[in-house]
Structure 1
Amino acid sequence: MKKPLACAISTAVLGMASFALPTAVLAQGEEADEAIEEVVVTGSRIARASLESATPLQVLTAEDINLGAETNIGDYLNQLPALGQPLFNRTNSNFDINNSGVVNVDLRDLGIERTLTLVNGRRFVAGVPGSSAVDLNAIPSAMVERVEVITGGASAVYGSDAIAGVINFILKDDFEGVELSSRYEITDESDGEENDISLLIGANFDGGRGNATAYIGFTDQGAIFSRDRDISRIDAVSPAALNPRDTTLELFGQVKPFFSSFPLQGRFDAGVADDQGRRLTGFNYTFLSDGTLVDSFDTNGNNRAADGFNRSAFRTIAIPTERFLAATNIHYDLNDNVRAFFESTYSGIDTNAVLEPFPLDSDDVFQENADGGIPLAYENSNGDMISHPFMPAEILTVAQGNGIEGVRFRRRIAEFGPRTASNERQTFRFSTGLEGSTDGGWLWDASITYGRTTQSQISEGNIDTTAMRNALLSEADPDNPGQFRCVDAEARASGCVPVNVFGFNSISPEAVAYITADKSRNATIEQKVYQLNMSGDLFEMPSGPLQIAFGLERREEESRAINDTLTVRGLNSGNITPNVQGEFDVDEVYVEFNVPILSNQYVDYFGFGTAARHSSYSIPGVGDTTTFEGRFELKINDDWLLRTSAARAIRAPNIEELFDPGTETFAQVTDPCAGVTNTTPGTRAANCRSIPAIQSRIDSDPDGAFTLTQTELQGTGGLQGGNPFLFEETAETFTLGFAYTPTNLPDWLGATLAVDYWDIEIEDAIELVLRNNVLSLCYDDPDFQTDPDPQCDNITRFPLGNTQEGALDQVNAFEENLSSIEAKGVDVDFQLSFDLDVLGLPVPGELSIGTVYTHVDDYNIVNAPGARVDIEDGEIGSASHKWNSNIRYNWDNLSMQWQVRFIGESRIEDGDIPSSGCRQRNCFVDEIYYSDFQLRYRLPGSLAGANLELFGGIENVFDEDPPVISAGLSDSDTGTETTAGVYDAIGRAWYLGFKASF
């Protein structure tokens, strides 16, 4: 006989697409008559006699999670076809030092901020400062009873953030016994070792009135370095990145080696360039390994082999991660109608990202001369003009002859060693309250949930640019012949030590100590949620009871991320990076109805449900909002269930989107006024000419055009940040589908089929307006000269009379409610199970086959009104076709599973090559299949009082190589030469483990 929960999950296939395999399919016969306890399924607050749902739902059981064999439940979930490319995971976040090692999920690839994560139906505190994104490192897999995934708008039931859907982790709460498990994994390359050990303990107490379940676990995941994989061991670049206009170049090959132009010994420019950036005279110097000073270019005009640096020798594919988890789930029946409960989770996670040594550009240090380099002449401490004492005479002489003010340089500061980013994250969450029922059958619960995430980050190997400038301006020490000192007396008093950047290992340890400036970041996220829920039968109708659920909720969110002073001022090896802090709260009330129309009359059941939620936000731009949902379900008979739902969902802006003051950037933009002449037609040209500085430059140009220099065409400064005036984004979601469970099959055969169409349209979507779109919105505005578009306030140009008059000075970009997003597709779930011996086969046992498939039909983003449509469907991360198929065999104490995951042919990001350009070159990576295998065996009897289960398996059985997506393409994750959030950048791995139950 099946356990009650298994029966409930079996019945669920009538009302949902289920990732669980057909071992849970309800067999025909006496088991079908078993009573099923009322449960609450994700997507509704109303308890029903089964897990049937009018909204598409996927369910993963504890058995599925075990056979998935991932130590992190987030890594397992990201294999679902309905999920897109995660913003962060262990193999794609090495270069994002603030969030290295975080693991999150992204339903429908609509963005992590549009997926709501719950634990036991209640919110979980975020793991990324300023956002609502949960770090799934903090959720223990062994404590999870099942995972319910609803893929559609659910804001009326759960509030903001549920636009793409909801992931609800249901924890074990009635466990009895002791379960000790351990697992060891290693890759084919003998790296990336993983050790996992956990202990789960549960017991009833006070005569069965209460149960306490507790868990502790430790995981240690080792590093995998880029240098240890063929695809990434040598610095490379996509050929198309070298010349995007050359349509003959392959997109997905590798040009290697393509070393960094910041070598260990430095490159020194003593030449002169014209207005277009072409070198007219002079040399670019470097050093050979023996210290010989040479031209950086050989006689053929190519960079010398010595003039470069292989960054891949230091980079990491998989970030080393240590994780400690502890969790409890306790309940106690105060009487027959009231239960007290307490659940808690603690996680301590340490990650250590490794990057190549810091690349220093003299432009980051010197701004006082036009050439941005070490001055050829500067005042010493006596007021006399001197030259840099370490600069080779040949470089100095040539630079002086070329009439430049400073010698620019690029140098890898290898004396520091590699840069590292150590993150310590701690997450604590508890939820406690009372739940119960009335004599009339009404259910209620009241709870308080508190969550807190802290992050302490130290990034080593960075430079204090002010200290570096002081150390580079040095002179002979009059008190110590043959020694040198810093020119600035105050700097000397602060411990300044001269720096020599000319040559290999020329920076002394004392100088390294002086110019070193570690970055630090401390972040705190706090969440408080107060809930009161009630549900029951309002009154009896001819076809059954009209059910209602209603409740109140208050949520308070606070986040702050504080950087060190130098980082905030942009003086610590990077651009200005401000602190981000803010808070908001929301009060909500909701109501939900389930209305039966027909029951056992013409059809088994026909009814509809509806829900509405009113929210009042402290965010000025949001204020009061209302969301609603309607759904119909028609159960024709035991075989067929038809369902549809429509909803209006919202997402309120998060703290980072609201309160980020803006991070400095110097990215390249396209000036829409470039090339405009006095006769160029159109609104844009007329608007450009109305700017006096541009008109003056057109009039003075020999060709009568607004012609920009190479310097002006390069990086343009600006800020990218949040917007305190944001309002909520809204989504219209729609689903339509059916579930088919044939009842006329033999008892030994079970089968189900579920198909669901989904459509999500988001208006006023909150997105960072691209800087080029800022320019277009401004200069394409017909009312530019009388009532310009607000985006024009984000643009400044050099004024009339400036040497760069009319050229762009700054273009700022902020979060705006200007984007629109539309995504639609189909989910299919087919499950089949049968007994092998009934077929006359000589093999006993049961075989189960399950396939889950997602087709993305359309996925379009418009960043701002008038901007081109960004076609996302079919792109890497949003493949048009994805499926998972499992074959599971069970016989007595033996279980085996073979899983195949398919990712269809995918196109590169349209921002690299517009879709139209795919007619001229191959823009696609091939489809790929991944196979995973696991074998589990439960030893008969007991060993030292324990029931012992052994298991082992292989991930990526056939060692499929990821597609080559090299640097220069947007989809390339630094250090991996592929899209590591989608494809396996690690390769084949083997694991063994055991589970002992007492």
Structure 2
Amino acid sequence: MTNRFNKAALLAGTVMAGAVFATPAMAQGTPDEPALETGASNPDGELIVVTGSRIARRDLETAAPVAVVNSEEFELSGSVNVESVINTLPQVVPGTTSFSNNPGDGTATLNLRGLGAARTLVLVNGRRWMFYNTAQVVDLNTIPQFLLESVDVVTGGASAVYGSDAIAGVVNFRLKDVQGVEVGGQYSLTERGDGARYEIHGAIGSEFADGRGNATVYAEYYNRDSIFQGDRAFSNFALGGETDGADLQQFGSSTLPSGVLRYLGGAQGNTGLPAGTEFGAAGASGFGTGVVFDEPANFRRRAGDLYNYAPVNYLQLPQERYLLGGYADYELGGGHRAYAEVSYVNNQVQAALAATPVTGEFNVDLATVQPFLVAGDFAQLQAIDAAETAQNALDGVADDPGVVNFYVQRRIVETGLRENLDERNAFRVLGGITGPIGSYLNYDAYYMYSRTRNANIQQGNISASLFQAGLDGTGTPINIFGPGTLTPEMVDAITIQAQNGDVSSLQVATAVISGTFGDFAITEASDPVGFAFGGEYRKVAAQFIPDTALASGDVIGFNAGEPTDGSYDVRELFAELAIPVRFGTAALDISGAARYSDYSSGTIGGVWTYAGGVEFAPIPDIKFRAQYQRAVRAPNVGELFGGRSIGFPGATDPCAVAGAQNDATLNALCIATGVAPGSVGDPNIRPNTQVPALFGGNANLSEETSDSYTVGLVVQPRFIPGLSITADYFNFKIEDAIATRGGGLNSTLNLCYNVVQDINSPFCQLIVGSRAGNGAITTANPPVLVQDNTAKLEVSGIDLQISYGTSIPFSLFTDTGEQRLQLSFIGTWNEKNDLYPVQGFDTVNECAGRFGATCGEPTPEFKWTSRASFIDGPVTTSIRWRHVGSVTDDDDGLDYTQFNGIEKIDAYDLMDLTFSYAANESLTITAGVNNLFDTLPGVPLFDANGIVTNRPNSLLLGDNQEQANTYPSTYDVLGRDFFVSALVKF
């Protein structure tokens, strides 16, 4: 049934050998054959199920807008991984990709409308797919791209039809039935001779039992080589400086291989000591000169004083994947059919970061470190110790003579890279039965079980306790005072291998009856009224299992975290109704859906979702459509039961901003929350731009609710055969959105100190008790920010899709004297993409047309993808144009152009060219080049002081980057990229 639907709905694309990129989910005709009338019945008379509905019907449409990506688009774009094509759709903001090294976890995720991967439901053949983590997100690496027949993208809440997680929309990957044997492979290589990717696959499909059964089995191997940031000139240097008020320069981390000690003023926060004193000379000389820096900010800004961490980070992550599976169905008799699906995936992806930076407070025993210091440096430590002892005596507090607490910053380059290997093993099995009930009804029931297990092994971590023991004399003494001073024995004494695992499982049992109320119809010309009703049971379970080192927080390098273990189940009843009305040449279709979900005790309980839609075609050439959806998303396992884990988000501490002490209210509030008197306004109380905080789940969460509607039209003029146009306005509003309490650490600090300014407010109470010493927020007792129903999201805009096919009177490869031309366009205008971090406050992050620290990935106002294909007998020539509109920085309070920075990323265009040759009925060869004009972030030019003297283009971002000086999931970082593939069928 699925194949029949796609052959009808995508007739132009299949006849013209892959010309259509994203066509509306409607019937279309070839240039020589008029399109089916809008709202007409399937000419084959066969009942089908379309994405966005469970009603088996003859009509090919729903009121919900659907974009369809054909299998040919994957072939013409040279995309082996599903993410590469899906992320070019204008409805999608890139999630985790093959360029996500930090952050990244070796997966590829799908993020519709920028509302988050957890709010996008992924289906395969109309049924839920396996997820991989406690957030219940699907890894697109597990879907066999070479078997795709089409991908349906339905935007708009679809919880009434599919249940939770469909709050932003649904993406349905349809797999084809194979007849015979298909063997194929592809090889890709960048113009620079790196980043090789190769894939081989095979599939065998056949009928059996005298045609009563059909089965397809398949296998694939995929391998992707790594590319380091040091392999591209634009990403070889970590660039920055704008947020410190300096020119763009060779930047990096102030955690240097030479090491820095910073005295914070004593554990009691006493003020009679020289807080902020640093020991160690600038640059390569490191310790040994006795130079003291009194301005840490200047130290951070100097180009020569910073460690360039960029070259050893991955630009493209290495990957190795094995994929096996199959699906089959068997006619039992009387129209009843049993079916089964099974799949297995082994996926290995590695990430790499620069050597571990140790930052934090440590007790330094002077006698232990004396052998590693010259007399002048040691004398300074003795002076600090003596001053501390004297001050403690005046304060009447206990003292530990010979021991001083320092804030230590030291890049442990002697250990080599931090390497992180994820190996995921996932399988899914499904069995079901479907068939008729009398003349008017059909049933479908199935059970699915999936399980994913991830093993994560980390190299290059430092044990905090062993590092402390090396400084206080209780362990092997370590020499951190200068570059290359750690001996192999010292490295062995402080390094630790860590590992963790994830186990996720999903069970689904669904039964649905659909059909008509006999021959009952509203008018004589109308199809019968259709309906569907049924029930579903789902059980979700997930675990995060860290080893002892990670769970205890003893690891420095990769973030530590506590275990997570939780599950929930839900029982649901749902129903749909479709009322078609035909009168003359006009057509009216009314639809409705509702679902009641009862979640297990201790979670959200019972919730309703519902939807209604209408389509009206006054004449066959044009149709108007509208739909409203109330959708919900239940909190996932990680949000409910997630163990606490430490993170280091970028944040501005208002108490560390110069001049804060001059605001009486702010000064008093800072002191009340733990800042030492006299230290308000001192930048030393924020020794790092990244501030530690603990994050975790919250068992008291409730559901998110979404109200969304779409209004649009479909135009298929009969006087222009082959042309179809759809335009739809979409509007989402999500209330009680689950996010980090307070809107995140930076938002919490702002609300506490600048907005509410009340020590008793929940925002200030999150900070109280988290400051130590002179008031710095450190890893010793960081704020705890759990998940909460705190945010609100609003998204709106217009989607436009155009497809046109015709013949042109010119041919090189056939004697017909003509060839086929197929044009397609799919674009989105984002009117609004707003995030309210905390409901009830006017603070809003307006992200349409923005990018940056708050909005993240660029969300342009305009984004489109178009393709022109010429099919001349056996030869197809295809050109793709990808456009990402300009975006501006999301921080209205800082003008980056004052610091040689970036306030705006210009509009971005890529061109791709592909040739495909069908040598015969069995062999097709395809070759192409993506990013034809080698559009990349430009290569900066530096002066003798490391300052950038020339910024070639706006893609080179500096401080505004996500990673690699740009946003590598949005803007191409490979450059001109070639591929060749072959497919053999017999």
Question: Which TM bucket (shorter chain)?
Answer: 0.7 to 0.9
- 8 Å contact 1:270–1:395 — kept in the other structure? no
Following the alignment from structure 2 to structure 1, what is the Cα–Cα distance between the partners of residues 58 and 336?
A: 21
Displacement of 1:48: 1.8
SS of corresponding position for 2:173: strand
The 1:222/1:732 distance shift into structure 2, 3 A limit, reads same
Displacement of 1:194: 0.4
- 8 Å contact 1:708–1:807 — kept in the other structure? no
1:572-599: CA deviation from partner (whole Å, max 9, x where unpaired): 1156521222111111000000012x31
Amino acid at match of 2:207: N
- 8 Å contact 2:8–2:27 — kept in the other structure? no
Displacement of 1:125: 1.7
Q: 1:552-591, aligned counterparts within 5 Å?
A: 552-573=535-556, 576-591=560-575
Amino acid at match of 1:131: A
SS of corresponding position for 1:522: strand
Amino acid at match of 2:235: S
Amino acid at match of 1:868: T
The 1:280/1:149 distance shift into structure 2, 3 A limit, reads closer
- 8 Å contact 2:261–2:278 — kept in the other structure? no
Displacement of 1:878: 1.3
Amino acid at match of 1:146: S
Following the alignment from structure 1 to structure 2, what is the Cα–Cα distance between the partners of residues 719 and 504?
A: 32
Displacement of 1:295: 4.5
Q: Which runs of 5+ in 2 are unaligned?
A: 14-19, 37-41, 388-403, 852-857, 938-952
Following the alignment from structure 2 to structure 1, what is the Cα–Cα distance between the partners of residues 497 and 249?
A: 32
Following the alignment from structure 2 to structure 1, what is the Cα–Cα distance between the partners of residues 357 and 655?
A: 32
Following the alignment from structure 2 to structure 1, what is the Cα–Cα distance between the partners of residues 157 and 544?
A: 30
The 1:25/1:66 distance shift into structure 2, 3 A limit, reads farther
Partner of 1:55: 64
- 8 Å contact 2:736–2:792 — kept in the other structure? yes
Following the alignment from structure 1 to structure 2, what is the Cα–Cα distance between the partners of residues 874 and 915?
A: 17
Displacement of 1:67: 1.5
Partner of 2:829: 855
The one of 789, 795, 799 aligned to 1:827: 799
The one of 76, 82, 86 aligned to 1:73: 82
Amino acid at match of 1:522: G
1:301-351: CA deviation from partner (whole Å, max 9, x where unpaired): 889987543212211101000011112111111113211101112111111
Displacement of 1:421: 0.4
Following the alignment from structure 1 to structure 2, what is the Cα–Cα distance between the partners of residues 551 and 154?
A: 16
- 8 Å contact 1:771–1:812 — kept in the other structure? no
- 8 Å contact 1:271–1:284 — kept in the other structure? no
Amino acid at match of 1:89: T
Matched, 1:376 2:359: no
Matched, 1:284 2:283: no
Matched, 1:234 2:237: yes
| TM-score (normalizing by structure 1) | 0.84
Partner of 1:315: 313
The one of 141, 144, 150 aligned to 1:146: 150
Matched, 1:996 2:978: no
Partner of 2:745: 771
Following the alignment from structure 1 to structure 2, what is the Cα–Cα distance between the partners of residues 713 and 269?
A: 12
Following the alignment from structure 2 to structure 1, what is the Cα–Cα distance between the partners of residues 776 and 105?
A: 41
| Range 552-561 or range 336-345, more displaced | 336-345
Following the alignment from structure 1 to structure 2, what is the Cα–Cα distance between the partners of residues 294 and 805?
A: 27
Displacement of 1:355: 1.3
The 1:421/1:28 distance shift into structure 2, 3 A limit, reads same
The one of 85, 91, 98 aligned to 1:90: 98
SS of corresponding position for 1:545: coil
Q: 1:282-681, aligned counterparts within 5 Å?
A: 283-285=279-281, 288=284, 295=291, 307-361=305-359, 363-364=360-361, 366=362, 368=363, 374-377=364-367, 388-402=370-384, 403=386, 405=404, 409-473=408-472, 487-488=473-474, 497-539=476-518, 540-543=520-523, 544-573=527-556, 576-596=560-580, 598-601=581-584, 603-618=585-600, 620-665=602-647, 668-671=651-654
Following the alignment from structure 1 to structure 2, what is the Cα–Cα distance between the partners of residues 428 and 967?
A: 41
Following the alignment from structure 1 to structure 2, what is the Cα–Cα distance between the partners of residues 358 and 854?
A: 42
SS of corresponding position for 2:499: strand
- 8 Å contact 1:820–1:863 — kept in the other structure? yes
Partner of 1:181: 184
Following the alignment from structure 2 to structure 1, what is the Cα–Cα distance between the partners of residues 418 and 64?
A: 48
- 8 Å contact 1:824–1:859 — kept in the other structure? yes
Matched, 1:978 2:940: no
Following the alignment from structure 2 to structure 1, what is the Cα–Cα distance between the partners of residues 755 and 477?
A: 54
Following the alignment from structure 2 to structure 1, what is the Cα–Cα distance between the partners of residues 79 and 449?
A: 28
Amino acid at match of 1:112: A
SS of corresponding position for 1:886: strand
Amino acid at match of 2:542: S
Following the alignment from structure 1 to structure 2, what is the Cα–Cα distance between the partners of residues 586 and 12?
A: 42
SS of corresponding position for 2:578: strand
Partner of 1:263: 256
Following the alignment from structure 2 to structure 1, what is the Cα–Cα distance between the partners of residues 654 and 283?
A: 39
Displacement of 1:737: 0.7
SS of corresponding position for 1:63: helix
Following the alignment from structure 1 to structure 2, what is the Cα–Cα distance between the partners of residues 632 and 12?
A: 27
Following the alignment from structure 2 to structure 1, what is the Cα–Cα distance between the partners of residues 832 and 273?
A: 43
1:267-298: CA deviation from partner (whole Å, max 9, x where unpaired): 45699999699888785236858997575989
Partner of 1:881: 862
Q: 1:212-251, aligned counterparts within 5 Å?
A: 212-237=215-240, 239-243=241-245
Following the alignment from structure 1 to structure 2, what is the Cα–Cα distance between the partners of residues 952 and 614?
A: 50
The 1:313/1:184 distance shift into structure 2, 3 A limit, reads same
Following the alignment from structure 2 to structure 1, what is the Cα–Cα distance between the partners of residues 825 and 913?
A: 16
Partner of 1:755: 727
Following the alignment from structure 2 to structure 1, what is the Cα–Cα distance between the partners of residues 873 and 692?
A: 67
Matched, 1:923 2:903: yes
SS of corresponding position for 1:199: strand
The one of 727, 737, 742 aligned to 2:702: 727
Matched, 1:210 2:213: yes
Amino acid at match of 1:982: T
The 1:568/1:184 distance shift into structure 2, 3 A limit, reads same
Displacement of 1:436: 1.1
Following the alignment from structure 2 to structure 1, what is the Cα–Cα distance between the partners of residues 273 and 341?
A: 64
1:842-895: CA deviation from partner (whole Å, max 9, x where unpaired): 963101111111000111111112141110111143100011110011122111
- 8 Å contact 2:98–2:108 — kept in the other structure? yes
**Fraction of identical pairs, as percent:** 28
Amino acid at match of 1:468: F
- 8 Å contact 2:239–2:958 — kept in the other structure? no
Following the alignment from structure 1 to structure 2, what is the Cα–Cα distance between the partners of residues 517 and 10?
A: 56
SS of corresponding position for 1:578: coil
Displacement of 1:719: 2.4
Partner of 1:479: none
The 1:348/1:207 distance shift into structure 2, 3 A limit, reads same
Q: Which runs of 5+ in 1 are unaligned?
A: 250-254, 369-373, 379-386, 474-486, 492-496, 942-946
Partner of 2:941: none
The 1:116/1:12 distance shift into structure 2, 3 A limit, reads farther
- 8 Å contact 2:278–2:294 — kept in the other structure? no
- 8 Å contact 1:275–1:710 — kept in the other structure? no
The 1:994/1:289 distance shift into structure 2, 3 A limit, reads farther
Following the alignment from structure 1 to structure 2, what is the Cα–Cα distance between the partners of residues 354 and 679?
A: 45
| Range 955-964 or range 333-342, more displaced | 955-964
The 1:47/1:287 distance shift into structure 2, 3 A limit, reads closer
Following the alignment from structure 1 to structure 2, what is the Cα–Cα distance between the partners of residues 290 and 655?
A: 47
Matched, 1:816 2:788: yes
Displacement of 1:532: 0.3
Partner of 2:22: 19
Displacement of 1:468: 2.1
- 8 Å contact 1:270–1:284 — kept in the other structure? no
Displacement of 1:261: 3.0
Following the alignment from structure 1 to structure 2, what is the Cα–Cα distance between the partners of residues 695 and 51?
A: 62
SS of corresponding position for 2:458: strand
SS of corresponding position for 1:102: coil
| TM-score (normalizing by structure 2) | 0.85
Amino acid at match of 1:450: Y
- Paired residues, number: 912
The 1:692/1:133 distance shift into structure 2, 3 A limit, reads closer
